[in-house]
Structure 1
């Protein structure tokens, strides 16, 4: 499983495991977790970088309607995995 590092706005670095990735409406979304154990927390991130940016920029999906829609897509992709948000 791929592990990626993210720099937060305050300059700290956090590491997440990429569980799954999908494109919806031309935008990339990642389902990530903070560990590999059964008690891991899962998050959905969306790509908010500009097309000419050399680095990817992801932010957590916080808008409830968008979060639920993307969650359903990931749930279908991982139908054999128990997801809890």
Structure 2
């Protein structure tokens, strides 16, 4: 599992996440991440809001219920053995 570091805007601290899967829907990139490799770990779906000429990627947590539902269903299909609770 790939481990990546994020810089929190709120605390200006680095946070490590493990990437479970990534996908692109209607031209927008999403990643499914977790803070632990444990089986019952908490997951987040992050949306890439970077512009094409940005040097670094910028991700935000998907909070819109409709968008979250659509994207989580795609991740559930990609990862057949994972059930995402909303």
**When the two structures are superposed, what TM-score results if normalisation uses the length of structure 1?**
0.94
Separation in 2 of the partners of 1:40 and 1:24? 25
Q: Which runs of 5+ in 2 are unaligned?
A: none
Structure-2 residue corresponding to 1:16:
17
2:67 is paired with a residue of what secondary structure? helix
Structure 1 residue matching 2:45: 3-state secondary structure: strand
Name the residue aligned to 1:6.
6
Report the Cα distance in structure 1 between the residues aligned to 2:16 and 2:60, rounded to whole angstroms: 14
Instruction: Write the distance in 2 (CA, Å) between the matches of 1:38 and 1:77.
Output: 17
Checking the alignment, whether the CA contact within 8 Å between 1:42 and 1:84 is kept in structure 2 is no
- The alignment covers a number of residue pairs equal to 85
CA RMSD of aligned residues (A): 1.0
Question: How big is each residue's C-alpha offset from its partner over 1:37-64, in whole Å with a ceiling of 9 and x where there is no partner?
Answer: 1231000000001111010001100000
The TM-score normalised by the length of structure 2 is 0.93
